[in-house]
Amino acid sequence: MAKRLKKYINKKVKSLKKVKNSLSRDYKKSKMNTKKGKRKMNFFCVLIMIVLGIFLFSLCVKTTEPVSPKAKGVDIAMYNYGSEIKRLSKQFNLSPSYLMALIMLESSGMKEVPPRFEKHVYKKLKSVQEKKISDLENISYKEISQASDAALKNLASSWGPFQLMGYKCIHLGIEIKDLRGENSLYYGVLWIDQTYGDYIRKKKYKDAFHIHNTGRPVPANGKYKTYNPDYVPNGIEYMKIFEEKFKE
């Protein structure tokens, strides 16, 4: 590629030199020895150099390797979470690349992550509170019987860089503010470790991504049940990017 590019540029340069030489010959033949003629000749030379510069610049831009859209937010995510994730991954024996990829999928690596209200989860929690159903992921009437409507909405919202559902705080024995505060990263990794950490340690990353999004491993038929069909493939691609980042 580099040899072909060099050959192509040299060809264009020679072509422009021919134009310059032709103008020079015309200049001599017409005896353009006046100041006006010299200025005109200089103008043509400068114009040729400008055209050549623009051509070379555009050629470089076209041949530059495009940046992958998925790589755009990676540096921001590393700046916001890289060092802490590296520490927590050692503490819990989990892949730092997996955790960073998950952060990209769930919150695009941003530091300030707004909660996301899940109406269907709210309805299920409301049904548990009204004893219409027995439980939601082992959250029974006993745990939420006295919860206000605002509290239920908080439990039905996802929080933090991993976008954990609020009701997960009941499983962890913490308050919902812990999922959205300074310790949100720690409690997020703790929940991941307790829920499906063994999948990560066994390098079953596709299953791990699928569990985080759906609560279940990849089905036997291999068809993803995630809300976004590319959720798992994107996660695997992000992992490859972060593996290189952690080597830097």
Is there a contact between 186 and 91 (Cβ–Cβ < 8 Å)?
no
245 vs 94: CA distance, rounded Å: 17
Is there a contact between 100 and 82 (Cβ–Cβ < 8 Å)?
yes
100 vs 18: CA distance, rounded Å: 56
- Among 219, 221, 220, 201, which Cα is nearest to 210's? 219
Q: Which residue has the tokens 């040299």?
A: 10
How do strand 135-136 and strand 157-159 relate by DSSP bridges? Answer: unpaired
Mean of the per-residue pLDDT values for the chain?
Answer: 82
8-state DSSP, 111? S
User: Does residue 241 carry a pLDDT above 80?
Assistant: yes
Q: How is domain 71-115+159-247 classified at the CATH fold level? A: Lysozyme (1.10.530)
Q: Using one digit for the tens of pLDDT, what is the confidence trace for 183-219? A: 899 999 999 999 999 999 999 999 999 999 999 999 9
pTM of the complete model: 0.70
Strand partners, 117: 157
Strand partners, 223: none
213 vs 219: CA distance, rounded Å: 13
- Looking at residues 87-108, what average pLDDT do you find? 97
Q: Using one digit for the tens of pLDDT, what is the confidence trace for 42-58? A: 655 555 666 556 655 55
Share of the chain above pLDDT 90, in %: 63
In what helix (H) or strand (E) does residue 140 lie, and over which residues does it extend? strand 139-140
183 vs 206: CA distance, rounded Å: 27
Q: How confident is the model at residue 181 (pLDDT cuts 50, 70, 90)?
A: confident
User: Does residue 2 carry a pLDDT above 50?
Assistant: no
Q: Which residue has the tokens 């996660």?
A: 235
